Amino acid sequence: MTFDRRARLVQSAQLSIAAGSKSFTLASQIFDSQTRERAWLLYFWCRACDDIVDGQDHGGALTVLTDAPARVAHVRALTERALAGEITGDEPFDALGVVAAECRISHHLPMDVIEGFAMDAADWRPKSENDLLAYSYHVAGAVGRMMALVMGVSPTDADTLDRATDLGIAFQLSNIARDISEDDAAGRCYLPINWLVEADIAPGEQMRPHNRSRLADMAWWLADMVADYEASARVGAARLPFRSRWAVLSAASIYGEIAREVDRRDVQAWDHRVVVGKRQKAWLVFRALGQALLNRPSARDREGLWTREDALAAVG
């Protein structure tokens, strides 16, 4: 990989982030330059895979596809080639090849992410809370684990990597709480079937007006789970270099606020999409700076939280 080619990949990755995620763009500016570039390269691959499988362009409305399994197979094949050191000619996948080699990213982690796409392509639905956490690991927890490697965490530091996984899971649970209505419109539901049964909601009828109060209860359950996984992640963040710690705490605060706002809105949570405004983001980033400087997260162990092995066992 020549310097010029790597520089072009970084530039393309930066443009992808700017178009696809304002929150990630903001958080990534806090990193030192090397970590920032590597984070962009990893994001570039994640964003491209998501768009290919869902038929999107840097996010946006989901579309109903008839060839989702073929799209997943295409993503998997390109990823395997990139991880093998081959130049694919497809920039997001070449970006993954670069960052995986530079940061010693285990090849099973990108494949774990692709398994999450395969679950969606197969119209998979969680039956239990364990299933929900397994899915959240695949689509976000594994990305959190890779991001920890990008930030310099040793591949042998299992506890810190588990806590990075926790942050990805917290992010995904926040997204699920916020996007219940949007997912329903696309024919998807990530609320566990046993939750729906307990609330006496028939599958496919979660957005009926008379079910809003029960949905609000589920949003509270999700927000409570987010808080647990976020708290664990903050312990792991304390072990990172200062700028990485600040970036992680900023992102944790912003995504955690999404879940908390959904909970606060109660039955009105899905009338309008929950967003964290610019001023609020700025405040959360400033507050995270103080937390990063103080660096005294509340002590907590990981008892009761999931590990990668739990997630894979649940899917299997």
Rounded Cα distance between 67 and 74, Å, is 11
Of 71, 106, 141, the one marking the end of a domain is 106
Does residue 119 lie in a domain region? no
Rounded Cα distance between 179 and 186, Å, is 11
Does residue 117 lie in a domain region? no
Q: How far is CA 213 from CA 182, 187, 238, 244, 267, in A?
A: 18, 21, 38, 39, 6
* pLDDT attached to residue 310: 64
Asked if residue 31 lies in contact with residue 39, where contact means CB atoms within 8 angstroms, the answer is: yes
17/53 same-domain check: yes
Does residue 272 lie in a domain region? yes
Range of the domain at 253: 125-316
CATH number at residue 188: 1.10.600.10
Neighbours of 96 (CB within 10 A): 27
148/176 same-domain check: yes
pLDDT in tens, 108-134: 999 999 999 999 888 899 999 999 999
* pLDDT attached to residue 187: 85
* pLDDT attached to residue 308: 74
100/132 same-domain check: no
74: its two tokens: 């295409």
* pLDDT attached to residue 17: 85
Residue 60: DSSP 8-state: -
Residues 6+ apart with CB under 8 A from 204: 189
Does residue 197 lie in a domain region? yes
Rounded Cα distance between 177 and 64, Å, is 21
* pLDDT attached to residue 313: 57
91/60 same-domain check: yes
79/136 same-domain check: no
* pLDDT attached to residue 301: 83
Could you tell me the pTM of the whole model?
0.91
* pLDDT attached to residue 316: 46
One-letter amino acid for residue 6 of the chain: R
Rounded Cα distance between 30 and 26, Å, is 7
Does residue 294 lie in a domain region? yes
Low-confidence ranges of the chain (pLDDT < 70): 1-3, 23, 56-65, 310-316
Does residue 113 lie in a domain region? no
Does residue 57 lie in a domain region? yes
Of 73, 106, 139, the one marking the end of a domain is 106
150/62 same-domain check: no
262/157 same-domain check: yes
72/194 same-domain check: no
Does residue 114 lie in a domain region? no
99/146 same-domain check: no
Total tally of structural domains belonging to the chain: 2
182/101 same-domain check: no
231/261 same-domain check: yes
* pLDDT attached to residue 1: 60
Asked if residue 297 lies in contact with residue 235, where contact means CB atoms within 8 angstroms, the answer is: yes
130/211 same-domain check: yes
